[in-house]
Structure 1
């Protein structure tokens, strides 16, 4: 049904959690309120009435006279509803079904600087290719590079190391393109 009174009291003792739900007060104030049950009940009722959309809390008579500020609507966004399911608040009403926007999951962007750093420092381990999501070609490079070094005494090993070295040099030129392609790829959940 929403945040319980006990959860609210626990929330008061956690500064990050307080900020995440819009409770702006000092740690000393929060500890003072959390330690006094009547005071924390009054703050809980006020918070439920004014900052939690869709929840109607009828405060006790003693606390209602003390806490009657103007109603403030929270910003549009996803909020937990009944049963813990997330629902969309558009700033004025709850939106159901196809009209609610789908939550967007952001993927971390890859950076050219990190890819270059990995290529230069850990190029023999194809770390830049693993970083950019090119696992198949990274394994191919690893095989070519390390089998070439283990068979360097044979003529074949020398050619493998030379081929892997050329591949590594070409990668230095292609890293910006590989980063752009990786960042443009849609997120696969």
Structure 2
């Protein structure tokens, strides 16, 4: 999506950043189903810290499964992944509310 131009102001045209698109629950569930073990559905809904934590735990656990210690981390991520199935609609709703609020603040 390309940036849009507002009418010229006193110093010429003003370049606006493109609006962030609203998030979709079905897309979040697709990401959760196929890439959820790596936390990518959490990145999609703007939860970057917990998404990064989930990704780090998964990658470290995969590395440590060679010595069987990583199975605990994988079990933790599996439980987290299942709980997220119930949390996704609320996470998408929260993200969309934040996007709508930023659009409203930007249009003022």
Q: TM-score, length-normalised on structure 1?
A: 0.44
Q: Is the 8 A contact 1:118 1:127 kept in 2?
A: yes
Which residue number corresponds to residue 170 of structure 1?
83
Distance 1:85 1:144, change over 3 A: closer
Does 1 or 2 have the higher relative contact order (CA < 8 Å, sep 6+)? 2
Aligned partner of residue 69 in structure 2, secondary structure: helix
Residue of structure 1 aligned with 2:72, choices 148, 156, 159: 159
Number of aligned residues:
95
Q: Which residue matches 1:150? A: 63
- For the pair shown, which has the larger CA radius of gyration, 1 or 2? 1
Q: Cα gap change, 1:141/1:82 in structure 2, threshold over 3 Å: closer, same or farther?
A: closer
Relative to its length, the structure with more helix (as a share) is 2
CA distance in 2, matches of 1:163, 1:81: 55
Deviation, structure 1 residue 81: 5.5
Query: Structure 2 length as normaliser, TM-score?
Result: 0.73
Q: Does 1:80 align with 2:28?
A: no
* In structure 1, distance between residues paired with 2:61 and 2:45: 24
Q: Which runs of 5+ in 1 are unaligned?
A: 1-77, 87-102
CA distance in 2, matches of 1:181, 1:81: 35
1:132 corresponds, among 38, 45, 61, to 45
Unpaired runs of 5+ residues, structure 2, are 1-5
Runs of 4+ aligned residues of structure 1 deviating over 6 Å after TM superposition are: none
Distance 1:84 1:165, change over 3 A: same
